[in-house]
């Protein structure tokens, strides 16, 4: 018996050593087929013999720059965050595991086309080879990445569709009495908007006669690095990649470019179910039949002290999707897109398209569920797609709210074809814009008409950025990369166009006996004479932002129609008393925090990068840079979401313009870009904050796209596994 056990142990050891040797040989072969060149900004340019080699090199380079963010994205995507952070993440993991089943992902990987499996294999190899060659890097949880894991995070958006599911409601429905007093943090959909701007300019409006594209995502800072992927299989894509993914999410190649903006095209529905327990099992009514609720046991793990504890929860599913809460005696199921292989296919293949026909073929996969797309190409086409995954529904129902899931008439009836969605190609005005705003102003007077589409295709409302974008683009000609940057950074805060006159009127109607008529006259005159432009030297900006924020907070409980433009609502539906009171509070707050109301915006609004923690830390007594940009909420096209922290008076940015690029599609592509801070997540790297001053001024660097430019500006050249000073 002892001999048999020893032989088994030796066999397993030999097999393990053999597999490890095989892995190492494969990794080294991939490394031999891959070269990484980092330019003067630390941007990695990856050159691989095949697409898979390029994927291997680009994920290796990402790990060099910030392995922590790569790993954290997959800990979250796999529903394992509670194993790192504890009970507070248990129901976030449960929400994720409602859609992510390891065994299902493994089958999807096995059944994927060979070319896609090759990319997933190379992706896992690149991360694992990084860990092998960097033993000093200690993963939080995932010490070995498997190829199927790539399917857990396949689209690249800021927040996945499942983040619309309330974790508190999940806990209340499934696990109410466990840690009964635990209050979980939800995604705050009223916080600084994490949207984006995309502009496309037709050849007739550009000085060179070439189409231009603005790529301007508004994400949390350092959410996406900048990278360049090239292979002998025809890949040559440049742009922003979400940490841990192997495709350029927002970017361009030699022929075309794509910019995604967050959409409110309806891709998610909630269904109310009538549920009864029959013969000991839950059933729900559908038409005239009672269907069994599917039950699935999920084993969740969470960290408690120094131990990992397990908890089993049984999830319930209907044909509409999982049950996520109870409401008015009904169980509520949610339907959303679950197409991982197709989504990953679309995400990668669009980076290799050479014209609009090929690009549209990727859009026909219909898996870019939460985004609009602004597109431009070398042939001069400019195009806009509003949404991509839109189910066909019966328009008699109110799809903004919960519908009756027992009524078969509410069932999805397939998906809309791309041609049926809101779509703009080469409008006569010569420009397209989307700023997470209504598609019905995307091309000025040549925009689609709202009445031509079902309401669920575009719940998007006009916002201050959209109004400003139309104003800025209308009538302009002779666009260059530089003037497109100027348009994208035009600083007018259109939100205050209706607000300031409303406040002025309220102030003028104060009785002369009111002491505020005298105490507020100076700041009031400053605000009334303000040009509505945000800037580091602008005192009017400081007054407007503190007052506008206070008025919005004071008006939070007022009833407002969902489609009422918020700044018209604040201007016309708040009382004069509310407006004056909010202004007085704003003045007092400025004086309390900064010693005076008469303070320029740049003294308040700052950029600082000290650590690479996902949630940054900021300190007033340490160096920082003044920033003239502003929150996208107020209409700042160059978005900069900032706030004070518990230990600060100054406001520090953490979301907004992150990676920004402008591209011209001529015979040779030309581009400029900028990152918040820098490429590297390593605080002691020269590329941690080397772009910060340019970023603060809205100045862009030239993109090194062609090999001769990359080599001319090269700082390090190496193959994965060899030392890089990034």
- Tell the residue number behind the tokens 């440049």, with chain if given: 238
Burial bucket for residue 14 (CB in 10 Å: 0-12, 13-18, 19+): exposed
What would the pLDDT profile of 519-542 be if each residue is shown by its tens digit? Answer: 999 999 999 999 999 999 999 999
pLDDT above 50 for 81: yes
Task: Determine the pLDDT at residue 13.
Answer: 55
pLDDT above 90 for 290: yes
Q: For strand 605-607 and strand 651-657, is the pairing parallel, antiparallel, or unpaired?
A: parallel
pLDDT above 90 for 3: no
pLDDT above 70 for 9: no
CA distance 240 to 226: 5
Q: What number is the average pLDDT over the span 236-261?
A: 97
The reported pTM is 0.94
Task: Determine the pLDDT at residue 2.
Answer: 64
Task: Determine the pLDDT at residue 123.
Answer: 98
CA distance 39 to 558: 53
pLDDT above 90 for 723: no
CA distance 708 to 706: 6
Residue (of 374, 358, 476, 487) closest to 423 by Cα position:
374
What band does 189 get if pLDDT is binned at 50, 70 and 90? very low
Question: Using CA atoms in the order 543, 544, 547, 551, what is the torsion angle rounded to 10 degrees?
Answer: 180
Task: Determine the pLDDT at residue 615.
Answer: 83
Q: Phi, psi (5° rounding) for residue 540?
A: -60, -35
What would the pLDDT profile of 435-479 be if each residue is shown by its tens digit? Answer: 999 999 999 999 999 999 999 999 999 999 999 999 999 999 999
The rounded mean pLDDT for the chain is 94
What band does 14 get if pLDDT is binned at 50, 70 and 90? low
Q: What number is the average pLDDT over the span 20-26?
A: 89
| Angle at which helices 539-554 and 521-528 cross, to 10° | 100
Which tokens in the block code for residue 38? Answer: 């980092």
Task: Determine the pLDDT at residue 616.
Answer: 86
What would the pLDDT profile of 349-363 be if each residue is shown by its tens digit? Answer: 999 999 999 999 999
What would the pLDDT profile of 101-148 be if each residue is shown by its tens digit? Answer: 999 999 999 999 999 999 999 999 999 999 999 999 999 999 999 999
Q: What number is the average pLDDT over the span 388-416?
A: 97
Q: What number is the average pLDDT over the span 83-102?
A: 96
Residue (of 392, 427, 411, 270) closest to 334 by Cα position:
270
Strands of 288-405, DSSP E:
289-292, 294-304, 307-318, 321-327, 330-335, 371-377, 382-386, 403-404
Q: Which helix (H) or strand (E) holds 20?
A: helix 2-32
CA distance 430 to 209: 12
Q: What number is the average pLDDT over the span 226-246?
A: 97
Residue (of 652, 702, 710) closest to 677 by Cα position:
652
What would the pLDDT profile of 639-659 be if each residue is shown by its tens digit? Answer: 999 999 999 999 999 999 999
């Amino acid at each position: 018996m002892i001999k048999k056990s020893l032989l088994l142990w030796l066999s397993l050891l030999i097999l393990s050593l053999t597999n490890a040797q095989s892995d190492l040989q494969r990794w080294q072969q991939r490394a031999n087929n891959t070269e990484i060149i980092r330019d003067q900004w630390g941007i990695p340019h990856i050159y691989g013999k095949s697409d898979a080699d390029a994927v291997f090199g680009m994920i290796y380079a990402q790990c060099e720059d910030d392995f922590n963010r790569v790993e954290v994205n997959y800990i979250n995507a796999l529903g394992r965050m509670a194993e790192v952070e504890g009970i507070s993440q248990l129901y976030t993991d449960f929400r994720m595991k409602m859609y992510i089943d390891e065994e299902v992902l493994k089958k999807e990987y096995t059944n994927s086309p060979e070319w896609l499996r090759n990319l997933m294999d190379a992706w896992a190899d690149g991360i694992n080879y990084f860990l092998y060659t960097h033993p000093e890097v200690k993963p939080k949880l995932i010490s070995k990445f498997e190829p199927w894991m790539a399917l857990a995070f396949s689209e690249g958006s800021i927040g996945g569709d499942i983040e619309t599911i309330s974790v508190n409601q999940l806990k209340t429905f499934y696990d109410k009495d466990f840690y009964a007093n635990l209050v979980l943090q939800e995604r705050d959909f009223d916080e600084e908007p994490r949207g984006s701007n995309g502009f496309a300019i037709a050849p007739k409006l550009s000085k060179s006669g070439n189409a231009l594209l603005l790529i301007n995502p508004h994400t949390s800072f350092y959410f996406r690095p900048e990278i360049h992927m090239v292979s002998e299989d025809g890949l040559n894509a440049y742009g922003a990649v979400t940490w841990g993914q192997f495709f350029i999410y927002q970017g361009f190649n030699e022929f075309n470019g794509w910019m995604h903006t967050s959409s409110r095209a309806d891709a998610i529905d909630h269904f109310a179910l009538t549920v009864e327990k029959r013969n000991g099992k839950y059933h729900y009514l559908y038409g005239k039949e009672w269907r069994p609720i599917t039950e699935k046991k999920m084993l969740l793990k969470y960290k408690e002290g120094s131990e990992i504890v397990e908890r089993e929860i049984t999830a319930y599913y209907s044909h509409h999707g999982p049950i996520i809460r109870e409401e008015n005696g009904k169980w509520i199921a949610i339907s959303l897109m679950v197409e991982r292989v197709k989504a990953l296919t679309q995400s990668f293949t669009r980076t290799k398209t050479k014209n609009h026909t090929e690009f549209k073929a990727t859009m026909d996969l219909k898996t870019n569920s939460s985004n609009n797309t602004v597109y431009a190409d070398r042939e001069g086409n400019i195009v806009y797609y509003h949404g991509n995954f839109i189910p066909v529904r019966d328009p008699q129902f109110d799809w903004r709210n919960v519908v009756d899931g027992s009524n078969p008439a509410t069932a999805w009836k397939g998906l809309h074809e791309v041609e049926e969605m809101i779509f703009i190609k080469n409008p006569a005005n010569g420009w397209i814009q989307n700023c997470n705003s209504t598609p019905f102003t995307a091309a000025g007077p040549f925009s689609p008409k709202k009445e031509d589409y079902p309401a669920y295709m575009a719940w998007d409302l006009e916002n201050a950025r959209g109004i400003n974008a139309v104003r800025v683009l209308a009538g302009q000609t002779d666009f260059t990369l530089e003037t497109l940057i100027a348009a994208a950074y035009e600083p007018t805060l259109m939100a205050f166009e209706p607000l300031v006159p409303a406040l002025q009127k309220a102030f003028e109607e104060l009785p002369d006996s009111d002491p505020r008529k005298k105490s507020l006259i100076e700041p009031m005159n400053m605000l009334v004479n303000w040009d509505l432009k945000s800037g580091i030297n602008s005192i009017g900006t400081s007054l407007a932002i503190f007052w506008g924020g206070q008025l919005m907070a004071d008006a939070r409980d007022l009833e407002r129609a969902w489609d009422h433009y918020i700044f018209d609502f604040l201007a016309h539906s708040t009382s004069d008393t509310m407006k004056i009171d909010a202004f007085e509070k704003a003045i007092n707050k400025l004086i309390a925090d900064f010693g005076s109301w008469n303070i320029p915006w740049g003294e308040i609004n700052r950029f600082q990068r000290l650590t690479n923690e996902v949630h940054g830390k900021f300190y007033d007594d340490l160096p920082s840079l003044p920033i003239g940009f502003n929150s996208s909420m107020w209409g700042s096209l160059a978005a900069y979401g900032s706030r004070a922290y518990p230990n600060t008076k100054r406001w520090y940015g953490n979301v907004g313009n992150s990676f920004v690029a402008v591209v011209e599609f001529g015979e040779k592509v030309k581009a400029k870009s900028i990152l918040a801070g820098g490429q590297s997540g390593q605080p002691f790297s020269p590329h941690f904050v080397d772009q910060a001053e340019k970023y603060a001024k809205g100045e862009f660097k030239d993109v090194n796209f062609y090999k001769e430019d990359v080599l001319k500006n090269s700082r390090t050249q190496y193959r994965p596994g060899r030392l890089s000073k990034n």
